[in-house]
Structure 1
């Protein structure tokens, strides 16, 4: 569905954001795009949407070159940025204006999502809070039924009940021919949804792997005290949250936040565990 080869991007020559990025993304999955502030997550999403243009490399998204932004391409992609504005019109006017661009838009699904999010069906967009506007925009994006849905910090601005509703909605919306890529710092909001991880660091993809691959190689445990075989550990009031080599083929549940911290702080000590399965220049996820 998505193929990136040798992608490099810089806002100016002295400030590279992405350098020699390679990646393949397949449909039927929810990808978590993680990285520290300034790692290039938003730039990568904008590159996929054709909103910024890499200075080097090739991008193919659903067989299209995003930079061309053809109607056929745009009708099968929806991007929910972290910051957005909605026009000061009634929702019905908004729908009449924008739904024709998406041939598979499902008004019945959109109305159901509004009900799930506790939003009126013909509100005036200018009167909504930021969190309510985000719910409308998320509902619209899901109702387009585009093959690719890009989301940058989608849970920012949502209250706890809305975050729970968002997780339920997203889980039911995924199909085998759709792909969702979510850039987030709020990892715990999406812990149970993400089945593929892409981690950016030092202007590159430092790790791309499925949750299944990670849990085959690593064990995530809560124990009473530190031991020498821990790859990464954090002391808490109740004990130690640790990542260990999964030498006994145990089935443990991934702690994505803990894993991201381990990759960020331990670097090659963690990523080299996946190197045989995921060569540096051939990250297939």
Structure 2
């Protein structure tokens, strides 16, 4: 569905934003794109949907070259940007204006998603708060039934209940022929949601692994004392002792803690990566 080979990208003559990026994403998967602010996550999404063009490398998305921006390609890709400005029109006018670009747009599903996200639009879209506007766009994105959904920091601006609603709606909406690539630096917001983790660092993809393989290689747990665990790779103080990331040497069953995993990769890069390259 997404195939990037040796992608290089920069803005003009500035330092490279992406260098030698290789990435494969497949249908039926929710992929979490993690990285610090400024790591190049947005630039990667924009190259995938054809809003920016690589200096070199090959980009194939849904069998198309995104930079050509063909109508058949655009009708099957939806980008939810981090920054946006909705027009000063009501919801019905918005649907009339934008839904025709997506042949499989489901108006009934749109209403259902708005209900699940607890959104009512009595007047113009611009009368809504930023968080409410973002939830309208999330509902619209899901209703397009586009095969590829790209979401750039979708939980920015959402309050805690709205983030919970977001995770619930996303988890129940993915189809087998659909792929979601969700970028965030608020890694905890993607807990229990994603199938694959992609970490972007130093202009390139540092790690791309399934959640199942991560928990096969690493265990995530809390201990009262660091002596209670075998040589933790990474640890943080917690309310009851320590939160620990350790090598999974005894086939332990643990739940991926996205924030702990991301921090472990950032702080103990070589130790973590060696487990997945051996």
Q: What is the Cα deviation at residue 186 of structure 1?
A: 1.9
Aligned to 2:3: 3
Query: How far apart in 2 are the matches of 1:135 and 1:32?
Result: 19
Q: Residues 114 and 121 of structure 1 are in contact (CA less than 8 Å); yes or no, is this contact kept in structure 2?
A: no
Large movers: runs of 4+ above 3 Å:
none
Matches of 2:124 and 2:5, distance apart in 1: 44
Q: How does 1:112-191 map to 2 (within 5 A)?
A: 112-120=112-120, 123-191=123-191
The answer for the alignment partner of 1:23 in structure 2 is: 23
Alignment of 1:123-272 (within 5 A): 123-227=123-227, 229-272=231-274
In the TM superposition, what is the alpha-carbon distance from 1:267 to its structure 2 partner? 1.0
* Residue segments in structure 2 that go unaligned for 5+ positions in a row: none
Contact conserved, 2:121 with 2:128, CA < 8 A, in 1? Answer: no
1:4-153 matches, within 5 Å, as 4-120=4-120, 123-153=123-153
Q: Which moved more, 1:12-21 or 1:143-152?
A: 12-21
| Equivalent-residue separation in structure 2 for 1:255 and 1:115 (angstroms) | 30
Q: Find the aligned partners of 1:39 and 1:119 in 2 and give their Cα distance.
A: 33
CA distance in 1, matches of 2:205, 2:46: 16
The whole-number CA distance in structure 1 between the counterparts of 2:6 and 2:209 is 19
Provide the rounded CA distance (Å) in 1 between the counterparts of 2:120 and 2:248: 49
- After TM superposition, the score normalised by the length of structure 1 is 0.94
Q: Deviations over 1:96-129 (max 9, x none)?
A: 1111110000000001111222222553112111
In the TM superposition, residue 156 of structure 1 has moved relative to its aligned partner by: 1.1
Change over 3 Å in CA distance of 1:223–1:215 after alignment to 2: same
What's the secondary structure of 1:220's corresponding residue?
A: strand
CA 1:119–1:235 in 2, change beyond 3 Å: closer, same or farther? Answer: closer
Secondary structure, aligned partner of 2:277: coil
Q: Distance in 2 between matches of 1:156 and 1:14?
A: 28
3-state SS of the aligned residue for 1:175?
Answer: coil
Q: How many residues align?
A: 276
Q: How far, CA to CA, are the matches of 2:27 and 2:122 in structure 1?
A: 33
Shift of 1:189: 1.8
Unaligned runs of 5+ in 1: 277-285
Partner of 2:10, secondary structure, is: strand
